[in-house]
Structure 1
């Protein structure tokens, strides 16, 4: 009885290890805030992708793959100034699966947002990035990652 339990337990551990090894996360995120003035910051949310993977533009047309979206949580001390912009080398291709032209980024892309403080105080800016990545063989399900950036 104990031998069967030990063998079953070992088999479960092997399966869990194999499943864990298959989890892919080809995007590494970095979050920074650079002070432009005592009340203004440039927030940069950067993605670095593993080779052969790409992430979709925030401006992906309806009916296409999931666009990247940056959402900021409300902070009464911070005002979001304008729209988030993309900084990278986009590629535009006609995607046969979706039947539309899509824009995506490989290697790196940054999402840049200007924010203003209502008064010169230390605070945090938090939110989420929702994105989808693909390579030439597959797409991973959309993923949402939280961020928290200090504004000092």
Structure 2
């Protein structure tokens, strides 16, 4: 009985610790606008108490950024769009910092050049809470698109 209880507590703490180290979960979706264009949506679901920095205005700390892999199946139209972020004065940086809590959806419009393909790339972000920040992390993505 003690062994089972110990094993249960050990596994519970392992999963709780693993969840805390991954406070941001990413998901992806594309939506066809017309025969030649689509939008890709890159969604961050952010754990309570955590935030990620917006793409704009945050040097330093690290802004969220996107790098798209060139492809014969699509061409980017414009830049990645982000919704309005939360602005809060940070005494350490002596300026307003802009970030997202709970959830954010970034949007990129693409021109479809071939029948099927995928929008590939890497996003980079930093997750922080009110006490500390995790190291910057890169996440690869592959989002199917078709005409």
Partner residue in 2 for 1:125: 119
CA distance in structure 2 between the partners assigned to 1:19 and 1:144 by the alignment: 23
Match among 100, 103, 106 for residue 108 of structure 1: 103
Match among 57, 60, 83 for residue 57 of structure 2: 60
Which protein is bigger by CA-based radius of gyration?
Answer: 1
Q: Given that residues 50 and 127 in structure 2 are in contact (C-alpha distance below 8 angstroms), is that contact kept between their aligned partners in structure 1?
A: yes
| Structure 1 residue 82, shift from structure 2 partner | 0.3
Question: How many pairs are equivalent?
Answer: 134
Aligned CA RMSD, in angstroms, stands at 1.8
CA distance in structure 1 between the partners assigned to 2:139 and 2:118 by the alignment: 16
CA distance in structure 2 between the partners assigned to 1:83 and 1:66 by the alignment: 18
Q: 1:107 to 1:22 in 2, by over 3 A?
A: same
CA distance in structure 2 between the partners assigned to 1:109 and 1:21 by the alignment: 24
Q: Given that residues 80 and 113 in structure 1 are in contact (C-alpha distance below 8 angstroms), is that contact kept between their aligned partners in structure 2?
A: yes
| Structure 1 residue 99, shift from structure 2 partner | 2.0
Which SS does the other structure have where 2:102 is aligned? strand
| Structure 1 residue 21, shift from structure 2 partner | 5.8
| Structure 1 residue 22, shift from structure 2 partner | 3.5
CA distance in structure 1 between the partners assigned to 2:16 and 2:36 by the alignment: 45
| Structure 1 residue 77, shift from structure 2 partner | 2.2
| Structure 1 residue 134, shift from structure 2 partner | 0.7
Which SS does the other structure have where 2:132 is aligned? coil
Gaps of 5+ in 2: 1-9
Gaps of 5+ in 1: 1-13
Partner residue in 2 for 1:141: 135
